[in-house]
Amino acid sequence: MKVTCLQMDIDFGNPNENKQRVKKEIIQAMLDKPDVIVLPELWTTGYDLTRLDEIADHNGTESQLFLSELAKKHQVNIVGGSIAKKTSSGITNTMYFHDRLGDCVGEYSKVHLFKLMDEHLYLQAGNSKGHFAIEDAKCAGLICYDIRFPEWVRAHATDGSEVIFVVAQWPMARLEHWRTLLISRAIENQCYIIACNRAGSDPKNEFAGHSMIIDPWGEVLAEASKGPTQLTATLDLEKVPQVRKQIPIFADRRTDLY
């Protein structure tokens, strides 16, 4: 499975401009013929939280149609980063997954809201796991702050996830946390971690970039720098059961104690 992360800058509060950027990025990415393309967190709006009531996507309808058309046109699986989804009960930070036919095969709303960026003031937390499948691969999607909760990542791994996609707007100030947490999550769950961060800055933050693709041993297969770029690596999905068999941490867990 070949995966490409679109580590792109995001135009603050401008969904139309960001959609045009994504179209161009995907055209460029398809020159390398990936099986999966991954977008960053809140790629339509950025962290323009105070205007989300105005610019969020009602029921996620436009975003789903946009991603569906691109997936079908290019015959590629898309892990659709996340968008601000507005419903009658509030706004969620929601990720969509589309297959090569353009069908939406799953969605996940961010469970852990990051108070340091005021998410809790403008967003509602999700209440379900991020499981989906890409062809024969069992996958999961997580969003940014989620990676600081190892029990949440482990819950997806124990449910069978072999590839975990992380989309983010992680700031430069905590770059080393980003790298260390992602590598740790790969090692302790013996799975691939595909982490797509944004590049650039907004009125309040500089973002770290450094998207990463990490194998089940914790080896970094590819890592970007901080600027806009595309990051690609090929996954050997047979490695997941091999590593889990060699060091059987799931079988050795003491579920009677924890």
The answer to whether 139 is a known catalytic residue is no
Contacts of 163 (CB under 8 A, 6+ apart): 1, 134, 137, 138, 139, 140, 191, 192, 194, 235, 237
How far is residue 205's CA from residue 177's CA, in Å, rounded to a whole number? 16
Candidates 41, 107, 119, 162; catalytic one:
41
> Residue written as tokens 């069978």?
160
Would you call 196 a catalytic residue per the annotation?
Answer: no
Paired strand residues for 229: 7
Q: Which residues contact 244 (CB under 8 A, 6 or more apart)?
A: 190, 216, 250
Q: Is 24 noted as a catalytic residue in this protein?
A: no
Cα angle 126, 115, 38; round to 5: 55
Record the tokens describing residue 144, joined without a space. 């940014």
Active-site choice (104, 139, 144, 196) = 144
242: number of Cβ within 10 Å? 12
Q: Which of 110, 138, 191, 196 is catalytic?
A: 110
Q: Where are the beta strands (DSSP E) in 114-248?
A: 131-134, 137-143, 163-168, 192-197, 212-214, 220-223, 229-234
**Residues with catalytic function:** 41, 110, 144
